[in-house]
Amino acid sequence: MWRPCGSFDETYKQDMAIIRTPVRWVVVMLFLVVLFLVPVFDSYYLVTLLNSIAITAILVLGLQLVSGYCGQISFGQAAFMAVGDSQSIYLSDPPCLRAIDTRIRDGRLHFIVYFRSWDLWAGFPSNLAAIQLLKEYMASEIGVDDGELIASSKGLHLYEYAWELAKTTARIA
């Protein structure tokens, strides 16, 4: 980060500051104001374009972190989306969907999805449909074909409220 010659940090707080000068504070505040006002006053096209630019910037920074700072070589674009933080597993009812690992191979976007447990009646069909829609949307935005959806789960459950409906639908006495 560039600073004028002779500008030195004297405390830990100064050293750890992300925005160091009043001019940068003004620029950040103007950016935030524009960021929140663009969707209100501008067209759908511009908002979609800005979203695509932001997603691309995040992916580029992620790739730069992997290949530049860490020194690893990536032969395919990949992203990993963790659902919930590491402490969310200790909640009384933690989210069932834990991770979505994405890969682009041979011009196709593939999802590998992990559930800690899966509600067979309500969660299974709606989760698969929503994740497939997400994958199709991401593939179209990135400009690749739709690939495979591989889902795995540590457990499968059926809530008590759905037992009778599931038995009736499956024609089980």
The pLDDT of residue 30 is 92
Instruction: Residue 139: name the closest of 100, 110, 97 by CA.
Output: 110
In this prediction the pTM is 0.50
Q: Where are the domains of the chain?
A: 11-73, 76-173
CATH: 3.30.572.10, 3.40.140.10, 3.40.605.10, 1.20.120.140. Which one for 76-173?
A: 3.30.572.10
CB 72 within 8 Å of CB 66? yes
The per-residue pLDDT for range 158-169, each reduced to its tens digit, is 888 888 888 888
Instruction: Residue 94: name the closest of 82, 110, 80 by CA.
Output: 82
Looking at residues 61-71, what average pLDDT do you find? 62
At residue 5, does pLDDT exceed 80?
no
